[in-house]
Amino acid sequence: DAKTTQPNSMESNEEEPVHLPCNHSTISGTDYIHWYRQLPSQGPEYVIHGLTSNVNNRMASLAIAEDRKSSTLILHRATLRDAAVYYCILRAPYNFNKFYFGSGTKLNVKP
């Protein structure tokens, strides 16, 4: 199963953009890239997903490299409430029920 690599932690200032990187060099052509986040004392929640094209929603943007070996989650203006662990996950279509969570990136937002 394709795996992802993320930095253990990152820090950002409030109201500044944040770029959270993810490497997935063994991604297959049909794997979807998902991002979830886990706020303190809560279960993970869905943020965004994509296949090949960049994606935007009300929470974030997802930029996917042309070769799909990496992606970046972009929070346009970080708030204190965005402090969480962010997980980059690949979903294989033949095992669509399995979401493989790694250790994620812990984002600290400074006021």
Segment interacting with another protein, rule: CB under 8 A, options 20-28, 56-64, 75-83, 91-99 = 91-99
Should residue 96 be labelled a site residue for another protein when binding is judged by CB under 8 A?
yes
Residue 51 falls in which region: left (phi positive, over 0), alpha (psi -120 to 50) or beta: alpha
Segment interacting with another protein, rule: CB under 8 A, options 12-20, 21-29, 33-41, 69-77 = 33-41
3-state secondary structure of 95: helix
Binding positions for another protein, rule: CB under 8 A: 32, 34, 36, 41-46, 49, 87, 91, 96-104
